[in-house]
Structure 1
């Protein structure tokens, strides 16, 4: 997930998509498409079908992306939705040397298995581990981080979430037509642009889903057609909703394929009559054949065009394109831990690299001497300056540019920074940026990551170049998914 760039949905590999599993008619009639349970009636021998090989296996462990691992004819097979210790019947598909498995039937269940509360779980794929108990999810993520961070230090116990649903303050819904020419809205199935119609996502803010369902019902009466990617016809591509969890303010972004939106004033009026809690509505125009959800052109149809929310005791203004952590409850814990690791006394110069709209830097400014935020995205820098003024922060400055080059130039001028706080995108940092950290020689580096695997690579580089990892704290920012956030503290040797 690139944190600073526009929202996107890729035609393959997006974590919001999952290929539709094939299950028996009996299972499909139950409406969940999940694995069936019970004893096998056959003698247990492998049965060769037309589409693959049916086999009985036992799961030994999980991959880092939550798939069960089993052995079959000397080969390691990864099976989604299978848990350690479970005996199951799977369908094996061979493509050259590659072997993949699909769960057909659980014969002996793990105590960690639960019935996923979401009826779309096995088809959507936005949540990969909802079939695990909450305790098992935390244990799985802790083990994943422990294994990855073994070369450094033993991570602290993971910070979990008391209510691990309804947490997303941002939701994105795609619109289209089904084969019966009915308007549908929902998520994309994995590796496709096939929309799974859904009325409720259990990790979305419930109010956001209510608004989407209202919009879905309004489209026909207002003669608004969903956009068709194949024909290029239609208007509405997506609806993006952002909710201020503390403020209660709500932004609705109607992403259209054309700037011409006949009857838009009446549409906005009708939507607000149904949902007076909406504080701003925007039209974003995306005419491009692209995987990006948002286009460049934006028009405010109602309200001020932004919403505000409170984090770490400060108020932040959030625009349609702003990056803002999607789980504010856990973000408070994450940022609190990062600032605790920085061990600020009120005198330090802190660099907030990849600063976005300035959230972590402005929160840190309350305990630092001064904060320098650097961000490549000019819209985000504008937001960070506005947020600094909004909160009356006098000891923070924000600059647009490459953070690595900025630090190299600081080092060349013999300027110092005591702490660098870095929060890069999922791909992690690059050697150019990390080498600039080394040149600047801060006493501490606090590395916040949404991808521990790329973080491990970067921590190795920093340890080889004069730093020592002293502490690692995992935080469950994304319950029901395999993703976990980690913050690491490094000190100059």
Structure 2
């Protein structure tokens, strides 16, 4: 983008863009705060991609601001707390691009679209390099050739706007207010087409969105999962009641408009909670699951299954993890936090034996089913706490050569890590969706007999601030029995 001094950026030329002032979000919680306008210069970026600027001796973190840029910002003050929003860029940086998404400044689901793809990758590399500095130099980040339309799962929330019109979209960042979105550049396009059809159907029928304040209405969310290889599609209606009036007409209409849909479900969530899916589930059409192929294996995916969001990058991530495990066909591998068995079953192709452990019984059932589906004979899956499982193995004198761990964003707790140390596998492969908590856990493992010997960052979620890292740890010589 060419530099334009002393001008507010023009809105996107995309016909869907409705924002005349793209930088200024109308956040009701901030309107009540004291605000002032200030001119600042950005000196760097936080790990979340926000611009760093100084103002009256305080550090501001400004979304959508790039290093070197001079800008006008709105500073909000509430007691000791200060935050800021970008109002106008005076001197744009050469790395700045026009966000291709019309909803970028309203939605908040993506945080980096105002940066070129090269700048995004550089930021994520610098983030990992900084965090992992105590352990060594990370490899160059594995990026995505086409960093759009990669999500195989989409989630749309429905409601009414102030004109009592049906809207569907995403919760604006840090709010419970729905930002109407007709399409999303990181969703699978087919999913957005289906949501638009559902929205149109609601407007011409008596189907009403659920109102959290009154407790009335029917449809809360629509969850769509797409098999990127199989092209199978699951549509899940999340409703406040199991009484689905006009159910047959809805299924018939949606199938007619989108014959590519292979299954539809009704999930009932009556709770006042931020958790999307409820406990009750009914199949409206099809078998209730879809299948997809990852790393040459077929996986069955249910509405509640955890399945990696970006399969293209997942294959790179898993490939690197298996490489770090150094499998020769003789090793016993423990897949902790195994979920539906994806990485464990991939490892089984090169390992002697795989033991998957997962606390969620539904996930374990899916893992066993996926093992049978792929004819895997050397993998077993167990329900339970992986830490306790490994402690019992150590007590019995059982050995494991490799532990592969892929914990949630919060990382692992000390109890789990101590169980890994007690078992003393030769190698640990740590897959992390939150490198900050991974660093904490790596420090513990280094203090207890392991050396970090490889760090590979992977850009699993382009256009967002998230970055994953897979790390190889090796048991120090002379450690253990």
Equivalent-residue separation in structure 2 for 1:420 and 1:402 (angstroms): 14
CA distance 1:475–1:362, shift in 2 (3 Å): same
Question: CA-atom RMSD, angstroms?
Answer: 1.7
1:221 Cα deviation after fit: 2.7
Moved over 4 A (4+): 24-30
1:34 aligns with 2:22: yes
1:482 aligns with 2:470: no
Unpaired segments ≥5 residues, structure 2: 1-7, 25-32, 477-481
1:218 aligns with 2:201: yes
Q: SS of the counterpart of 1:111?
A: coil
Correspondent of 1:296 among 271, 279, 293: 279
Of the structure 1 ranges 318-327 and 98-107, higher mean CA displacement relative to structure 2 is found in: 98-107
Equivalent-residue separation in structure 2 for 1:216 and 1:295 (angstroms): 22
Partner of 1:281: 264
Deviation readout 1:284-332 (Å, 9 max, x if unpaired): 0001111110000000000000000000100000000000000000000
Equivalent-residue separation in structure 1 for 2:40 and 2:167 (angstroms): 39
1:266 aligns with 2:260: no
Deviation readout 1:9-30 (Å, 9 max, x if unpaired): xxxxxxxxxxxxxxx9997996
- Where in structure 2 are the equivalents of 1:342-353 lying within 5 Å? 342-353=325-336
Unpaired segments ≥5 residues, structure 1: 1-23, 37-49
CA distance 1:171–1:27, shift in 2 (3 Å): closer
Equivalent-residue separation in structure 2 for 1:112 and 1:161 (angstroms): 19
1:51 Cα deviation after fit: 4.3
- Where in structure 2 are the equivalents of 1:93-132 lying within 5 Å? 93-132=76-115
Q: SS of the counterpart of 1:57?
A: strand
| Partners of 1:469 and 1:491 within 8 A in 2 | yes
1:265 Cα deviation after fit: 1.3
1:324 aligns with 2:307: yes
Partner of 2:168: 185
Of the structure 1 ranges 175-184 and 331-340, higher mean CA displacement relative to structure 2 is found in: 175-184
Equivalent-residue separation in structure 2 for 1:310 and 1:114 (angstroms): 35
TM-score, normalisation: structure 2: 0.93
1:426 aligns with 2:409: yes
- Where in structure 2 are the equivalents of 1:13-162 lying within 5 Å? 31=19, 33-35=21-23, 51-162=34-145
CA distance 1:274–1:153, shift in 2 (3 Å): same
Q: SS of the counterpart of 2:204?
A: coil
Correspondent of 1:363 among 323, 346, 360: 346
Q: Which has the higher contact order (CA 8 A, sep 6+)?
A: 1
Q: SS of the counterpart of 2:163?
A: coil
1:192 Cα deviation after fit: 2.1
TM-score, normalisation: structure 1: 0.91
| Partners of 1:419 and 1:444 within 8 A in 2 | yes
1:452 Cα deviation after fit: 0.3
Correspondent of 2:236 among 253, 260, 272: 253
| Partners of 1:444 and 1:489 within 8 A in 2 | yes
Of the structure 1 ranges 276-285 and 82-91, higher mean CA displacement relative to structure 2 is found in: 82-91
Deviation readout 1:204-251 (Å, 9 max, x if unpaired): 000000000000000133311000000000000000000000000000
| Partners of 2:34 and 2:77 within 8 A in 1 | no
Partner of 1:311: 294
Q: SS of the counterpart of 2:324?
A: helix
